[in-house]
A and B are shown apart, each in its own frame.
Chain A
Amino acid sequence: EAQVTQNPRYLITVTGKKLTVTCSQNMNHEYMSWYRQDPGLGLRQIYYSMNVEVTDKGDVPEGYKVSRKEKRNFPLILESPSPNQTSLYFCASSLMVSDTQYFGPGTRLTVL
């Protein structure tokens, strides 16, 4: 089944404790992206990747890192999480940047 998977789905952590949210797609998509969803703000892009080893900042990149060592994986790294990063995070992928994006199920992160 074609899908985008994220892990974990739920995470509660404390300020400053490094964490990684994984994202994997099995559709051989070149373009991958991370969004955060906050009430009343919709979804905002954090980082995106056009292909392996090619990443760039979106609209709200502060406090986040990403890597794209393999085509299928696009992990989101929070080196020192803060409470303002409490949010619902979505990974998405598409064959090319201009194609329809397919979204993962989301990761709900709480930073205490």
Chain B
Amino acid sequence: AQSVTQLGSHVSVSEGALVLLRCNYSSSVPPYLFWYVQYPNQGLQLLLKYTTGATLVKGINGFEAEFKKSETSFHLTKPSAHMSDAAEYFCAVRDSGGGADGLTFGKGTHLIIQP
């Protein structure tokens, strides 16, 4: 069974500061990894994903994440936070083994941007 742990239900950073949202996973097979963002009163939007290949993945809005197999991590970063980045962020995993199960989500991290 897969699981996802997101460290910190709330993360607060100043505008212009580095954003770091942590995600650790467990999976018995090589995983596919995703970060989704949810703005207030909206659905989930894909930020980026890792399936195979390059372990540093770039997404939309200046975000990127690095898959580190040895650490079972997929942390999300952005060099300089913007007020518009305030949202809920979800890390998700699914097995690459061909099963029909959907995504397993973490509990989410609420990103707060201080002016």
Contact = CB atoms under 8 A, between A and B. Distances in A.
Chain B binds chain A = yes
Contacts of B112: none
Interface in A31-87: 33, 35, 40-45, 48, 50, 56, 58
Contact of B100 (A4, A44, A56, A101): A56
Contacts, number: 58
Contacts of A56: 100
A98 B103 CA distance: 10
Contacts of B100: 48, 50, 56, 97
Interface string A76-112: 0000000000000010100001101111111000000
A100 B46 contact: yes
Nearest to A46: B102
B18 interface: no
Interface in B97-115: 98-108
Interface residues of B, number: 26
A95 B99 CA distance: 15
Given A50-B100, A98-B32, A42 B43 contact: no
A71 B102 CA distance: 18
Contact of A42 (B34, B90, B99): B90
Contacts of A48: 100-102
Given A100-B49, A104-B43, A92 B102 contact: yes
Contacts of A43: 44, 90, 92, 103, 105
Contact of A101 (B96, B98, B102, B106): B102
A106 B43 contact: yes
Given A42-B90, A42-B108, A43-B90, A101 B103 contact: yes
24 contacts: A4-B43, A35-B102, A41-B107, A42-B4, A42-B90, A43-B103, A43-B105, A45-B104, A48-B101, A48-B102, A56-B100, A58-B102, A92-B44, A92-B102, A97-B98, A97-B99, A97-B100, A97-B102, A101-B102, A103-B36, A103-B45, A104-B43, A105-B42, A106-B43
Interface of B: 4, 9, 32, 34, 36, 42-46, 49, 90, 92, 94, 96, 98-108
